[in-house]
Amino acid sequence: MAPVGFIGIGIMGSGMARNLVAAGHDVVVWNRTRSKAEAIESATVADSPADVARRCEIVTICVSDTPDVVEVVEGGAGVLAGASEGTLIVDHSTISPSATIDLAARCSESGVSWIDAPVSGGSEGAARGTLSVMVGGKAADLERARPYMEAYSSSITHVGPVGAGQTVKLVNQVLVVINQLAASEALLLAQAAGVDLKAALEAVEGGAAGSWMLSNRGPQMIERDWRPGFTIDLQQKDLRLVLEAADELGVALPGTALVFQLYRALQRRGLGSEGNHALVKALEELNGLRLGD
């Protein structure tokens, strides 16, 4: 197969790029901090996003926020500076749906196609190759990218035209944080009642109350292991996007807004680099309780 480009070797991108290499693909990587790109063994390190695009017909991107994607694509040494007609950009970042539509339109003027393909599953899913990908764009473009995506995902769903992938990712993030709030409140209730937390988790996770967040983050919360699968700072960025989209659509999301404010309180305490399951710390503060005590 043709070489594939990967831009953004961060908490998610590092695992995704390594899985591409492990699957036997010829991978060209670029990262703002070059040492992170060089850490991807057997990959070729490019000098710029434009250099990636000159080497690869398919360029994947996984960076932090909307301005980062804009810079990587449209900057002086961005993807468009090195792309040719027929290049396909696959954006795995989580960014604004409306900005995605605008970017795709501008790329189209240069004959460059775009699919927005944000992912879910945390750093564990990126490392294990079990991410869920929600894709907006043309079906034919998805099929071009699918053989590469299969290296780091177990679920790839075409959800509609360009921008739809980002919207569905925002739907995903609403569910993530509300489930995290529920897990936090439930475990604090068990703590206050003196119930064994591990036994309580085992009793409920297999029934109607079960969720990915409860099963994967609940044990970390009980052990007070705040290593991030996804950081509070990144979660807040996503929730900002959710609330901006909700405002554009005139939709009230009170639960999401509450979680946003709780995370803001944790950021004020300097905890933004901890895992998003540290949400429970805000509720511990409100209750004068501490899981595990």
pTM for this predicted structure: 0.92
Q: At what angle do helices 164-193 and 254-268 cross, to 10 degrees?
A: 70
Structure tokens at 286: 């409100």
- Domains along the chain with CATH numbers: 4-161 (3.40.50.720), 167-287 (1.10.1040.10)
3-class state of residue 195 by DSSP: coil
Q: What pLDDT score was predicted for residue 1?
A: 80
Distance CA 52, CA 41 (A): 17
Residues 6+ apart with CB under 8 A from 32: none
Q: Residue 40 corresponds to which amino acid? A: I
Which amino acids are annotated catalytic?
A: 169
Q: Over the stretch 50-87, which tens digit does the pLDDT of each residue have?
A: 999 999 999 999 999 999 999 999 999 999 999 999 99
Distance CA 262, CA 280 (A): 9
Q: Over the stretch 173-207, which tens digit does the pLDDT of each residue have?
A: 999 999 999 999 999 999 999 999 999 999 999 99
pLDDT in tens, the chain (293 residues): 899 999 999 999 999 999 999 999 999 999 999 999 999 999 999 999 999 999 999 999 999 999 999 999 999 999 999 999 999 999 999 999 999 999 999 999 999 999 999 999 989 999 999 999 999 999 999 999 999 999 999 999 999 999 999 999 999 999 999 999 999 999 999 999 999 999 999 999 999 999 999 999 999 999 999 999 899 999 999 999 999 999 999 999 999 999 999 999 999 999 999 999 999 999 999 999 999 88
